[in-house]
Homo-oligomer: A and B are copies of this chain.
């Protein structure tokens, strides 16, 4: 049996692969109904709820379909019995972008909680730094 941290790593890895494939069911499978997402684009106050989160995915999928990647390069998980958190760096450029910013990575933080024994993502924070 994989331990808690390994289970969470597997959940996040599967989610990232679903994002890249444009698999909406896979992307939403392990998220809470009240998910809050601080995304790279506005609004700064975040997307609140699974319907709002779901609505923003198709444009992102379109970008993936045009050749962008969404590859986890680094992932660290802090797993508690009920709550957990994780932070990660991802390569997510389109083919044209790496020439300008070959080393820039998306910073991602996730917050998870358990509902009826299942780990679910309740918070996502995606960002790039500002110079």
Residues of chain A having any CB pair with chain B under 8 Å:
36, 38-46, 74, 76, 78-87, 89, 104-105, 107, 109, 111-113, 122-123, 125, 127-131
| Complex Cα spacing A84 to B123, Å | 12
Residues of chain B lying within 8 A (CB to CB) of residue A112: 85
Q: Tell me if B89 and A127 are in contact (CB < 8 A).
A: no
A74 shortest CB reach to chain B, Å: 8
A65 shortest CB reach to chain B, Å: 21
| A-B pairs with beta carbons under 8 Å apart, 13 shown | A38-B109, A42-B129, A44-B128, A44-B129, A78-B83, A80-B83, A80-B113, A84-B85, A85-B112, A86-B111, A87-B125, A109-B109, A125-B125
